[in-house]
Amino acid sequence: MAQKRPFATNEQIEALARVYPTPFYLYDEAGIRRTAEALTSAFSWAPSFREYFAVKATPNPAIISILAEYGCGVDCSSACELLMAEALGISGEQIMFCSNDTPAGEFAHAGRLGATIILDDETHIDALLAEQGALPERVGLRFNPGGDFDFANGIFGRPEEAKFGLTEDQLLEAATRLRELGVEQIGLHALLASNTLTNEYYPALARRLFRLAVRLQAECGIRIAFVDLSGGVGIDYRPEDEPNDIAAIGAGVRRAYEEVLVPAGLDDVAIFTELGRFMTGPHALLITRVIHTKETYRNYLGVDACASNLMRPMLYGAYHHITVLGREDEPACVRYDVTGMLCENSDKLAVDRLLPRAQVGDLLAIHDVGAHGHSMGYTYNGRLRSAEVLLDADGSHRLIRRAETPLDYFATLDVLPIGSDLAALVRRSEGEPKGKPARP
Ligand SMILES: *Cc1c(COP(=O)(O)O)cnc(C)c1O
């Protein structure tokens, strides 16, 4: 079985853990750059190719700025994500706004920034018109084919159960209406599966969208400007997973392009992606320390991270590989539940995981947390979200998000009891003695 090793050495991680209190996220700049290069190269054949990084995966300006060096724009779906783009000076064609159940005012915000807007329903045409006064020259439509989205070896996903997108008939109607309202160019978008581990998902999706593009152009007489394949390309979370080959994926999309679009005279349709997980997922570790061990009906490793720092295991039963640093060569002979400290039994970062016997004080590296990791965090139980640290290619490091403090937790409470000086309370609690955790 393939081994999963942290991208940093144990010495590097131990040194970082002396600078930054655990838990913290550690991102790998070199890895992010490698993936950005591989993606760009896989789609270099495509007219006007652009990756719009799905901001929700890792909404950190440092990460977005690295990707921007490779021409990546941003895929936003909320006002705060638009504000982040705005604050970074990202605008116009570099922003894709792909929302659903869109709150009032967000189409106007996206329009002011010159974003390309993807509509999730026919009724959003009126919302867009009302908020922007006029429709932009180019509008995207999100497609939901219904049923199962399957291929020779299985199913990718079940679009029928997804809340997103328009049916094919609705999409044809919407395109006709947009043309009547003066829109000159249409784009097509679909996200029909999540975390796919096959090189066939994007090519199959592309073929489906390309056929729809040909039909739209013929029946509605409107120019198809782009096809946005969105996200959904997965990563090898488990050591036994076969990683996707982005070059093969790009080549598969190219074949579909040449077989479907080009013969129909559609040889200048731009190809866009909105990958999140694939871009940054493998390129971060959550570094956490064992603070308790416990044996009852099961064996527990209690760590100083919890679902506030990484929610995917609790939410989806997701697998994240774990390395006990310094014990790589010891046999994985103990079946552990690795738990956080939330008063919730589901707060487990791993369940039934065979690991080397670990001790209080050991550092664990939780792998592949670079997308939908920190950003999903929450503050239930008064637990705070951790810092994010970037490891540069030359081994230096920098803090790209500080850890939350109790003052952040209380920041939205305008009404505190009379006389409570929160900052003083926090200072006092921080000054309280912290004994070393007991060694077993
Ligand atoms: C979440 C999302 C993505 C990114 O998905 P990944 O699984 O991270 O690739 C892209 N586009 C849209 C519209 C999304 O909602």
What is the pLDDT at residue 228? 98
Atom of ligand 1 nearest to the CA of 194: 7
- Closest listed residue to residue 49, CA positions, set 250, 213, 184: 250
What is the pLDDT at residue 119? 98
What is the pLDDT at residue 433? 84
Strand (E) or helix (H) holding 248? helix 246-256
Here the tokens at position 424 are 């003083």
C-beta of residue 360 within 8 angstroms of C-beta of residue 45: no
Strand (E) or helix (H) holding 271? strand 270-273
Q: Which domains does the chain have, with CATH numbers?
A: 91-275 (3.20.20.10), 282-426 (2.40.37.10)
Span from the CA of 64 to the centroid of ligand 1 (angstroms): 15
pLDDT value at 440 more than 70: no
Distance of CA 7 to the CA centre of its chain: 20
- Closest listed residue to residue 340, CA positions, set 23, 57, 56: 23
What is the pLDDT at residue 420? 74
Identified catalytic residue from 72, 80, 306, 343 = 343
Mean pLDDT of 84-91: 97
Q: Is 343 a catalytic residue?
A: yes
- Closest listed residue to residue 191, CA positions, set 96, 266, 280, 69: 96
- Ligand 1 test: best mutation among 101, 274, 372, most atoms within 8 Å of CB? 274
Q: What is the mean pLDDT of the chain?
A: 95
Atom of ligand 1 nearest to the CA of 56: 1
What is the pLDDT at residue 155? 83
pLDDT value at 87 more than 80: yes
What is the pLDDT at residue 3? 83
CB atoms within 10 A of CB 36: 21
- Ligand 1 test: best mutation among 67, 75, 117, most atoms within 8 Å of CB? 75
Band (pLDDT 50/70/90 cuts) for residue 429 is confident
pLDDT value at 438 more than 90: no
Span from the CA of 362 to the centroid of ligand 1 (angstroms): 35
What is the pLDDT at residue 1? 57
Span from the CA of 53 to the centroid of ligand 1 (angstroms): 9
What is the pLDDT at residue 175? 97
SS3 call for 426: helix
pLDDT value at 223 more than 70: yes
Maximum pairwise Cα distance, the chain: 75
Residue whose tokens read 């570094």? 287
Mean pLDDT of 84-101: 97
**CA 179 to CA 186: how far, in whole Å?**
9
What are 377-425's pLDDT values in tens digits? 999 999 999 999 999 989 899 999 999 999 999 888 877 776 678 888 8
What is the pLDDT at residue 70? 98
Burial class (CB in 10 A: 0-12, 13-18, 19+), 32: buried
Strand (E) or helix (H) holding 291? strand 284-295
Q: Whose CA is nearest to atom 10 of ligand 1?
A: 231
What are 144-186's pLDDT values in tens digits? 999 999 877 778 889 999 999 999 999 999 999 999 999 999 9
SS3 call for 103: coil
pLDDT value at 436 more than 70: no
Band (pLDDT 50/70/90 cuts) for residue 341 is very high
275 CB near ligand 1 (under 6 Å):
yes
Q: Phi/psi zone of residue 395: left (φ > 0), alpha (ψ -120 to 50 degrees), beta?
A: left
376 CB near ligand 1 (under 6 Å):
no
What are 184-211's pLDDT values in tens digits? 999 999 999 999 999 999 999 999 999 9
